[in-house]
Structure 1
């Protein structure tokens, strides 16, 4: 069973900015390559932050907020009130002229050997659209977008079902083909049946999660022998004999 990794789907030719890249050059990069964001790296290609289109809008909005003056000292009104980085004031954002000023940090990154479903869950958890891919020294080697990861999840439910049965349950775990009833709907896998040992259930669930296209696992498995919490053996009790005195 082969689970696709981030390294299988990432783009190696990464559009990137450096700390000193001017604001306008960042805008031009996003427009020229028709992308929604890019990583910011230092001179050793280590990822320091990420800039998205949202960051650029916030910067522009801050420049237009009441009380914030432009380079000529004129006050400017806000067209998008309330948009700003939570850790920076409007004045600081108005002065943002380089990638270092605009980027969101720290960057959420992944490694190429991580499984695609795991990377997808990271994206979902942090509400982001792209993940810089880094090596062991945190140097940028690629970028994985939400679209890249979603391609892996285009398997049909029937394809997923056959892979779970043939490659996971029978092939990898050596279970009888009729031990577990597998049904799949919209990538959600339901497992029903009875296994020999309780300890086999977590192993089955973990293996099914690693199948490409699986978005969730519903466990309805039971077991015959509880080898995780076996019943306690009570120590034998001595029977007290009470002798009555002879009359």
Structure 2
């Protein structure tokens, strides 16, 4: 079974509102030992995310401003993006400090897909929202990584049950599944050639799988026909 975000997210979410002050944001992060939290509006819809980085930038900017003399000469060249970042950093409420728009996910999304979203956007946490974009949970990198700590035995059993037995409907002795450090080796005979790329794709979808070695062949009347062996990609089949 493919794991989804709703299975690992934290439902009891620490949140802030647009008018939450800088000091209250710091207290929330410290009290709950977290590094960031979503900001919601009056309808519980996520409007942004505040992280430790946002708060540190705010404090650093204030400290720098306090050290300046009476005469301040602005830089000659300053991009609009940098100016906007500096303005946000010098602000004092969640509305002005938060990163927006927030990157969110839905509870039915696959954990692997959520992990890719985190990596693509460089974020540590993803607010989980319902169909109306209302906050229902939070998923952190630690939540998602726990899925990939599965043992080789657990991975192998799921591949055998879901891929070999259910999806391909093969007898138990047709295909063997072995796993080492998340690398799955499939060996044996399937009924038709199209079953090989299907088996590889489905195996890659099992949480915790890091690679697939294709040792499958097609059994026909004249005997098995073996494809080239070696590590296979998610869409690879016999060549």
1:63·1:93 contact (CA, 8 Å) conserved in 2? no
Give the equivalent residue in structure 1 for 2:97: 102
Q: Equivalences for 1:98-137 in 2 at 5 Å? A: 98-137=93-132
By how many angstroms is 1:169 displaced? 1.2
d(CA) in 2 for partners of 1:136 and 1:195? 41
Q: Does 1:87 align with 2:81?
A: yes
Distance 1:95 1:126, change over 3 A: closer
Distance 1:110 1:41, change over 3 A: same
Q: Does 1:218 align with 2:212?
A: yes
1:205·1:217 contact (CA, 8 Å) conserved in 2? no
Q: Does 1:159 align with 2:150?
A: no
1:109·1:134 contact (CA, 8 Å) conserved in 2? yes
By how many angstroms is 1:30 displaced? 0.4
By how many angstroms is 1:123 displaced? 2.1
Deviations 1:165-209 (A, max 9, x none): 133211332134454443323223244555444433343233223
1:4·1:212 contact (CA, 8 Å) conserved in 2? yes
Pairwise CA RMSD: 2.6
The 3-state SS of whatever aligns with 2:104 is coil
d(CA) in 1 for partners of 2:160 and 2:99? 43
Give the equivalent residue in structure 2 for 1:75: 68
d(CA) in 2 for partners of 1:127 and 1:190? 32
Give the equivalent residue in structure 1 for 2:27: 28
d(CA) in 1 for partners of 2:4 and 2:89? 40
User: Across the two proteins, how many residue pairs are aligned to each other?
Assistant: 208
Distance 1:221 1:49, change over 3 A: farther
5+ unaligned residues in a row in structure 1: which ranges? Answer: 77-85, 226-247
d(CA) in 1 for partners of 2:200 and 2:42? 43
State the TM-score, normalized to the length of structure 1: 0.73
**Which is richer in helix?**
2
Give the equivalent residue in structure 1 for 2:72: none
Give the equivalent residue in structure 2 for 1:147: 142
1:49·1:105 contact (CA, 8 Å) conserved in 2? yes
State the TM-score, normalized to the length of structure 2: 0.75
Distance 1:58 1:195, change over 3 A: farther
Distance 1:37 1:94, change over 3 A: closer
2:89·2:97 contact (CA, 8 Å) conserved in 1? no
2:49·2:98 contact (CA, 8 Å) conserved in 1? yes
5+ unaligned residues in a row in structure 2: which ranges? Answer: 70-79, 221-239
